[in-house]
Structure 1
Amino acid sequence: MNNYDVIVIGSGPGGYVSAIRSSQLGLRTAIIEKHQELGGTCLNVGCIPSKSLLYSSKYFLFAKKEHYLHGIFYEKLSLDFEKMMERKNNIVKKTNEGVKYLIKKNKIDLYQGIASFKTNHSLSIIDKKYLKEITKIKFQYCIIATGSKPTCLPSLNFDIQKRIISSTEALYLKEIPKRLIVIGGGIIGLELGSIYHRLGSRVTILETMDKIISNMDHSLSKEIKKILEKSSIQIENSLLINNIEILEDTKEISVHVKKNNGKKMKYIGDYCLLSIGRYPNTKYLGLDNIGIKKDKNGFILVNDFLQSSINNIYAIGDVIGGKMLAHKAEEEGLYVSEYISGQKPNKINYNLVPSVIYTYPEVSSVGKTEKEIKEEGIEYNIGIFPMKSLGISQASGCTSGFIKIISHKKTDEILGVHMIGEHVTDMIMEATVAMEFHASSEDIYRICHPHPTFSESIKEAALLSFENNSIHM
């Protein structure tokens, strides 16, 4: 029986990054993956394929609606959806190969199969197809990084043929829906809805909460809703989903809802994308065999060091809940690997895990929302600078959005930064670094920003937050 210092279960961003770091720190490491391809949800049915399609659809949208403003003309525009999907699949394949290379380069043993705990220092690896034990391995430490799966409604199943789909099926459609209903106005719903809207689908987003992207600052929710609706995406908030049915004669999807005022409505689509959350992927792990505790929703309970109720078994990423983001899982994986190797890494500041959305324009956020700051009773200043006031915005034609910086009224320390506009998924890192070092809005204002760039908007918003002045507004 093979014996390892560290076993990592799951090869998503948290898992493979943790395995690599463990090996780099001199620990004999193995990784167990039940699927044929490495990379987990992110690389196969999440971040990478969705962003591939988002970029492709963005270029198509530009060619269809913006090209003439730049003096670019052509006789006929056509879309090869199959070719677009092929490009996406090739990118996924190359990324998979990259992870395999990294695993091999770092001398990490790879086991294909389902991991199931026998004791707190041993587990079985089971063949996924035949559900028979392949081998047993022992370990000193184990890191559970098995991720999550899309949540479905009771009595329904995800199925491309029946046209009720999750984000997974949405990335592998064979056709562009004429009418796509998206239930859920979070990050996944907005991104996938945007892809198919750009390609020609009539998209309706139905959200049970009173606003879309409800976990982000209200100003971002309000602005992106206005922009998406202007582009002809229909968005309905504060709904109760009564029923979803498949119309057998037409194979269409009928979604019955009830509004706050009691009015009942019905929406018809060719496909219905359910984007209503995700649940932890722990089904075959045998957690009960060794007494690993979970919360009422099935997420593994961990302490501040990411230890489960069994102190040599850790858990990271989606399987412990919180923000279900690849970069959050990576940070947790790095932290655990360094912690068990004897280092003393700083604990993760979850307040400084940025969130990003690849709509057009993009949305990003880090730190506290204005609502959270109010609820804590903190006096604060706000600086909001519109992107349209920048020279680069006019030059590029990307004038939508703003930068919002919230700072402490007495100390001027930055408490939260919220952005919507071109390239803000990259620009949010300036705010994250600043907040990591407890910078003030004055500190940001005093830094020289290159011209002409979108990052100048951060400097301007900082001056507004610092002394309620602006140079270019």
Structure 2
Amino acid sequence: MTQAYDVIVLGGGIGGYTAAIRAAQLGKSVAIVEQDKLGGTCLHKGCIPSKSLLRSAEVYALMKDSRRFGVEADQVRIDFGQIMSRKSAVVEQLHSGLQYVMKKNKITVYRGIGRVIGPSIFSPRSGTVSVEQEDGEILTLVPERLVIATGSRPRTIPGLERDGERIMNSDDALVMDRLPQSILIIGGGVIGVEWASMLSDFGTEVTLIEYAPRLVPGEDEDVSRELERLLKKRGVKVMTGAKAMPETLEKHESGVILTVEHKDRQVPLTVERVLVSVGRQANIEGIGIENTDIKIENGYIRVNDAMQTAELHIYAVGDCIGGLQLAHAAAHEGIIAAEHMSGLEPHRYAQHQVPRCIYSRPEIASVGWTEAQAKERGHQVKTAKVHFKALGKALVYGDSDGFAKVIADKETNDLLGVHLIGPHATDYIAEAALAQLLNATPWEVGQTIHPHPTLSEILGEAMLAVDGKAISI
């Protein structure tokens, strides 16, 4: 069977389905090809399920500490089966909602493995998609425009390949049937830090190692130091500048022995499980890229700022093009692609203007340059830090660790970067992102009246503090 559409999207994750929805809103006939479930990594194996587990861990930690708030909650215990059931229910509710949105926008969804084919009897140019359905039937879908949104998967370390039990990746961790007594997490980036925070709150003995000199090396150095301090304070064993030695791996019935090279010493570690969290790689194999003139760079599809590949009728968005590999970035890329192919002038974005969020405890949120990055770009900077201990709402919450850091240009007063580490930091970083988008100065943001008492006051105070005008410090 052959079917023609204005737009076909290969991959139903957040980048793909956002592109599909926007294209449908603009009057296009649209189809999505997805080999698994709509929603992709974010909904099923990333953002949503992990945040559900993090919320359960946060509640458990709070209840164990409830006496501090004058609340007696003896014999608090974990029902891990219920925790996992709640996670699945949240995911399923969102999945059902997404399916409704597809029907509402008259988007056809094909379940199967899609591959791009070259020029053929169906089309004089590449971009036609062959879909192998579950029953073995082959469909041929012919688009005017194609969007590749095939996402990514966890990277592996040679010699530490996953077995789903002793050696896990983040996909495996999300379907554990019980909490491990101890775990070694390899990789102190976003995913590794979130799992270290979560499992520590659940009572697992956590060792976290990172090859770079500090955790979350893409964040501001002050934030990294504060994060490491607070994780250690909670009992997480943190080893930076450390490297796992896969050749030393020993698996036993009760666990794993793995040696870590750290500060010129070889440290053998015995743990129940190992979680490998060293980034993600694009899903670009087996989808027919070789049948096109699309260019690949460093394992990712190369695109221009309109999300077009080297074949201008073929677009690509999301994790498969590299960059920030964030769900909200992928969604915006999907909108850019859909609007550009419809003849509009979409809003392009600079990567440093995309908010970055880490949902550990404490949370981390940032936008713009770090202090080091700003200086590398030739800026003479002025900075300010305001600690949450100065905020009434933080003290009321009983969670006052962390700070807000603002970086501005001394000469122009341009806002260069905002970095938060502290309670619910991810919930108000969008204000700083909007300030950057509108080219607001710290003084202008500081003049915004922030309601009291709220955690968002930290931004107003930090903005004013850049010029020595903060009220709370």
CA distance, structure 1, for counterparts of residue 454 and residue 431 of structure 2: 13
**Please, which of 146, 149, 155 is the counterpart of residue 145 of structure 1?**
149
Residue 386 of structure 1 aligns with which residue? 387
8 Å CA contact retained: 2:146, 2:314: yes
User: What amino acid does structure 1 have at the position aligned with 2:440?
Assistant: A
User: What amino acid does structure 2 have at the position aligned with 1:419?
Assistant: L
Query: Runs of 4 or more off by more than 3 Å in structure 1?
Result: 244-251
Residue 131 of structure 2 aligns with which residue? 125
Write out per-residue CA displacement over residues 133-167 of structure 1, whole angstroms, 9 at most, x where no aligned residue: 52111001000111000011114432223x10000
User: What amino acid does structure 2 have at the position aligned with 1:106?
Assistant: N
**Please, which of 268, 290, 293 is the counterpart of residue 291 of structure 1?**
293
Percent of residue pairs identical = 37
CA distance, structure 1, for counterparts of residue 368 and residue 8 of structure 2: 33
Residue 470 of structure 2 aligns with which residue? 470
Residue 320 of structure 2 aligns with which residue? 319
CA distance, structure 2, for counterparts of residue 245 and residue 55 of structure 1: 36
Residue 50 of structure 1 aligns with which residue? 50
Residue 346 of structure 1 aligns with which residue? 347
**Please, which of 269, 272, 284 is the counterpart of residue 267 of structure 1?**
269
8 Å CA contact retained: 1:124, 1:133: no
8 Å CA contact retained: 1:307, 1:315: yes
CA distance, structure 2, for counterparts of residue 226 and residue 76 of structure 1: 29
Residue 187 of structure 1 aligns with which residue? 190
Write out per-residue CA displacement over residues 244-302 of structure 1, whole angstroms, 9 at most, x where no aligned residue: 65544434122212224x2111111111000001110112211001232111x321111
Runs of 5+ unmatched residues, structure 2: 119-125
Write out per-residue CA displacement over residues 68-94 of structure 1, whole angstroms, 9 at most, x where no aligned residue: 011100332121111110110111111
Residue 86 of structure 1 aligns with which residue? 85
8 Å CA contact retained: 1:244, 1:254: no
User: Cα RMSD between the aligned structures?
Assistant: 1.3
Q: 1:251 to 1:74 in 2, by over 3 A?
A: closer
- Are 1:239 and 2:238 an aligned pair? no
8 Å CA contact retained: 2:249, 2:259: no
- Are 1:173 and 2:176 an aligned pair? yes
CA distance, structure 2, for counterparts of residue 423 and residue 386 of structure 1: 14
User: What amino acid does structure 2 have at the position aligned with 1:362?
Assistant: E
CA distance, structure 1, for counterparts of residue 252 and residue 318 of structure 2: 43
CA distance, structure 2, for counterparts of residue 197 and residue 444 of structure 1: 37
The TM-score, its normalising length taken from structure 1, stands at: 0.96
CA distance, structure 2, for counterparts of residue 303 and residue 240 of structure 1: 36
Residue 361 of structure 2 aligns with which residue? 360
Q: Structure 1 stretch 150-159 or stretch 436-445: which is displaced more?
A: 150-159
- 1:442 is displaced (CA, Å) by 0.6
Residue 70 of structure 2 aligns with which residue? 71
User: What amino acid does structure 2 have at the position aligned with 1:470?
Assistant: A
Aligned length: 465
- 1:445 is displaced (CA, Å) by 1.3
Q: 1:365 to 1:249 in 2, by over 3 A?
A: closer
Residue 134 of structure 1 aligns with which residue? 138
CA distance, structure 2, for counterparts of residue 196 and residue 423 of structure 1: 19
- 1:304 is displaced (CA, Å) by 1.9
User: What amino acid does structure 2 have at the position aligned with 1:53?
Assistant: L
The TM-score, its normalising length taken from structure 2, stands at: 0.96
Q: 1:430 to 1:276 in 2, by over 3 A?
A: same
8 Å CA contact retained: 2:388, 2:401: yes
CA distance, structure 1, for counterparts of residue 71 and residue 82 of structure 2: 23
Residue 102 of structure 2 aligns with which residue? 103
Q: 1:32 to 1:322 in 2, by over 3 A?
A: same
Runs of 5+ unmatched residues, structure 1: none
- 1:98 is displaced (CA, Å) by 1.1
User: What amino acid does structure 1 have at the position aligned with 2:420?
Assistant: M
CA distance, structure 1, for counterparts of residue 87 and residue 438 of structure 2: 38
CA distance, structure 2, for counterparts of residue 213 and residue 89 of structure 1: 28
User: What amino acid does structure 2 have at the position aligned with 1:127?
Assistant: Q
Q: How does 1:29-40 map to 2 (within 5 A)?
A: 29-35=30-36, 37-40=37-40
Residue 123 of structure 2 aligns with which residue? none
CA distance, structure 2, for counterparts of residue 123 and residue 470 of structure 1: 58
User: What amino acid does structure 2 have at the position aligned with 1:378?
Assistant: H
